[in-house]
């Protein structure tokens, strides 16, 4: 067997061996991204089906302290479809002012069970939640490319 073809075939074997974990990690990343996407879609659908929406109004802002940290809190009031008025306290965002409105999702059967604010999930979670698998797959891809570019006498 020629030493040149032996070194070249050794290089191909290394590349194939490294391709297996690369494919595995990239599969896990893609599977995680698609699974997370379906989960987000399902949860948004369930939220829309099971909850009612009302407009909440900030009626008061005040300072609250926890230890030495002082932060702004707000009192928000919203009315359910049945006319019941619910009041709750929340941590205020910057720029919140008395009279501002916000969307409140609540359970019609139990209006004291409500959610306020931004989305629970964001689409950046799809990528960042699976970043380890993406990086590991790219690392093995880099190794495969690096082995392919090294001269045969370095192996």
Question: Which has more confidence, 135 or 147?
Answer: 135
- If one counts every other C-beta atom within 10 angstroms of the C-beta of residue 144, the result is 17
Query: Token pair of 139, please?
Result: 């690392």
Please give the pLDDT value at position 70.
Answer: 83
For tokens 């995680």, name the residue.
32
Q: Which residues contact 137 (CB under 8 A, 6 or more apart)?
A: 22, 23, 25, 26, 29
Strands (E), the chain: 52-66, 69-79, 85-91, 101-107, 110-116
Query: pLDDT at position 3, please?
Result: 61
Residues 6+ positions from 71 with CB-CB distance below 8 Å: 63, 64, 65, 91, 92
Q: What is the mean pLDDT of residues 70-76?
A: 87
Q: Report the mean per-residue pLDDT for the chain.
A: 84
Q: What is the pLDDT of residues 24-65, one digit of tens each?
A: 999 999 999 999 889 888 888 887 788 888 889 999 998 888
Which pLDDT score is estimated for 135? Answer: 94
Task: Map out the domains of the chain as residue ranges.
Answer: 51-112
Q: Coil, helix or strand for 52?
A: strand
Structure confidence at residue 66 as a pLDDT band (50, 70, 90): confident
Query: What are the pLDDT digits (tens) for 77-123?
Result: 999 988 899 898 888 878 888 999 888 888 888 888 777 765 666 77
């Amino acid at each position: 067997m020629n030493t040149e073809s032996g070194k070249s075939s050794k290089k191909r074997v290394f590349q194939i061996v490294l391709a297996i974990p690369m494919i595995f990690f990239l599969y896990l990343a893609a599977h995680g991204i698609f699974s997370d996407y379906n989960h987000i879609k399902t949860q948004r659908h369930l939220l829309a089906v099971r909850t009612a929406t009302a407009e909440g109004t900030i009626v008061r802002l005040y300072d609250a302290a926890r230890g030495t940290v002082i932060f702004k809190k707000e009192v928000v009031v919203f009315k359910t479809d049945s006319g019941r008025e619910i009041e709750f306290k929340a941590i205020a965002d910057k720029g919140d002012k008395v009279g501002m409105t916000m969307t409140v999702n609540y359970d019609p059967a139990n209006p004291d069970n409500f959610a306020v604010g931004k989305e629970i999930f964001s689409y950046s979670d799809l990528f960042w939640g699976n970043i380890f698998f993406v990086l590991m797959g790219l690392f093995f891809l880099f190794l495969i490319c690096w082995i392919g570019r090294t001269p045969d006498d370095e192996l």
